[in-house]
Amino acid sequence: MNFELTEEQKMIQEMCQRFAENEIKSVAAMLDETKEHPVELCQKMGELGLMGIAIPEEYGGAGMDYISYILAMIEISKACASTGVIMSVNNSLYCFPINTFGSHEQKLKYLTPVASGKAIGCYALTEAGAGSDPASMRTTAILDGDNWVINGEKRFITSGNVADYCILAALTDKEKGYKGISSLVIDLNDTPGFSVGRVEDKMGIRASGTAELVFNDARIPKENLLGEPGSGLKQMLTTLDAGRLGIGAQAVGIGRAVLEEALEYSTVREQFGKPISKYQAIQWKLADMATELDAAELLLLRAAWLQDHGKPFEKESAMAKMYASDIAMRAAVEGVQILGGYGYCKDFPMERHMRDAKICQIYEGTNEIMRLVIARNLWKQKKG
């Protein structure tokens, strides 16, 4: 067992540390306040190869591995969780399924611009009545000659208000239920009948747009089907396995920011004549944070290693996402507590970390669903 990073992995980690510290951290509070999509940061991340890290260079990506992706996501999210989730969706939920299930022609046309950072991608799965239960979706795509005609609404779509391209999950055969779900690639800038609906006003990750996508007799070419008809659910589950690694890394990044700021504050804040870092109550909180964050990162790296080596990682990605998001939230609550009244005020970033951490327990599958996924895999292993 080798815990040493390769030179390439160290390089991307160090590059992201510098980029996050020099260009992201200073504007994170402003982005949160204004809810402004970080256009320039996304363009720069594209130039650095961060918007398609594990995508082959042939299709505009950086041609690196998923361990590198985890390391990069942690550093970017540590500086700004909103920027982190935009990067995560681009890599995991858009680029991954096209690279995995798309044809060469689809990759050239729809993957290259997004993996290179010249365009933004999104993944449209959730509906008002279909969140944890995707089989309940109602959006349909009906073949009419050489076009799919799409009708329906998708909710809570990350980057939906700014995305150029979208992977859409829709029923192409309503009679077959979940076996009739298919995935389609859509150019949102060239699809009559498509519009952006409500953009949510959220508690956290406020610079990352979360939007409703509306399709009203929207027509896309027949060849935009991703893979075979009816393979959408299987594609979706595989995609979400990969996506959970990105969200787990986002959570660890938030937790790392909490720990750093709590450590710094505890050395300068004095009570009863000495820094609060001298009190056991504070030391134990910091020790727990550090231990749990290291454990979460190791779970993520194990799952990423399995993915890089073509091994099953559904259980491991669910474990990593669940644990990382739970401990990020726990760390954020304790971070606010350590800062006391200052932790509750916007003059310090700690309250933003707490708001940002919460969503990690919800999206890419709630942590309740993650526990079901883990348990299901345990029973499968027991049965052999």
For tokens 């971070």, what's the residue?
Answer: 335
CA distance 62 to 52: 6
Q: Which residues, at least 6 apart from 311, have a Cβ–Cβ distance to it below 8 Å?
A: none
pLDDT in tens, 19-35: 999 999 999 999 999 99
Contacts of 233 (CB under 8 A, 6+ apart): 134, 135, 178, 179, 181
**Catalytic machinery residues:** 364
Q: How far apart are CA 292 and CA 254, in angstroms?
A: 13
- Provide the token pair at 268: 């300068």
Alpha-carbon gap, residue 171 to 198, rounded angstroms: 23
Name, in order, each residue with C-beta under 8 angstroms of 165's C-beta and a sequence gap of 6 or more: 94, 110, 113, 114, 119, 120, 121, 122, 185, 186, 187, 188
Only one residue has tokens 């009863």, namely: 272
Specify the pLDDT at position 178: 87
pLDDT value of position 131: 78
User: Comparing C-alpha atoms, which of 66, 25, 114 is closest to residue 352?
Assistant: 25
pLDDT tens digits for range 75-133: 999 999 999 999 999 999 999 999 999 999 999 999 999 999 999 999 999 999 887 88
Give the separation between CA 46 and CA 115, rounded to whole angstroms. 8
What is the pLDDT, as a whole number, of residue 381?
A: 87
Q: Is the dihedral of CA 226, 230, 233, 234 positive or negative?
A: negative
CA distance linking residue 89 with residue 121, whole number of Å: 7
pLDDT, residue 135, reads 77
Quote the pLDDT of residue 132: 80
Which residues of the chain fall short of a pLDDT of 70? none
| DSSP per-residue codes, 10-35 | HHHHHHHHHHIIIIIGGGHHHHHHHT
Helices H, strands E: what count in the chain?
13, 10
Number of CB atoms found within 10 A of residue 284's CB: 11
pLDDT at res. 226: 97
Where do the domains of the chain lie, and which CATH numbers do they carry?
Answer: 7-119 (1.10.540.10), 122-230 (2.40.110.10), 233-383 (1.20.140.10)
359/356 Cα distance (integer angstroms): 6
| Model confidence pTM above 0.85 | yes
pLDDT for 95 equals 98
Q: How far apart are the first and last CA of the chain?
A: 25
The three-state secondary structure class of 326 is helix
Q: Which amino acid is at 39?
A: V
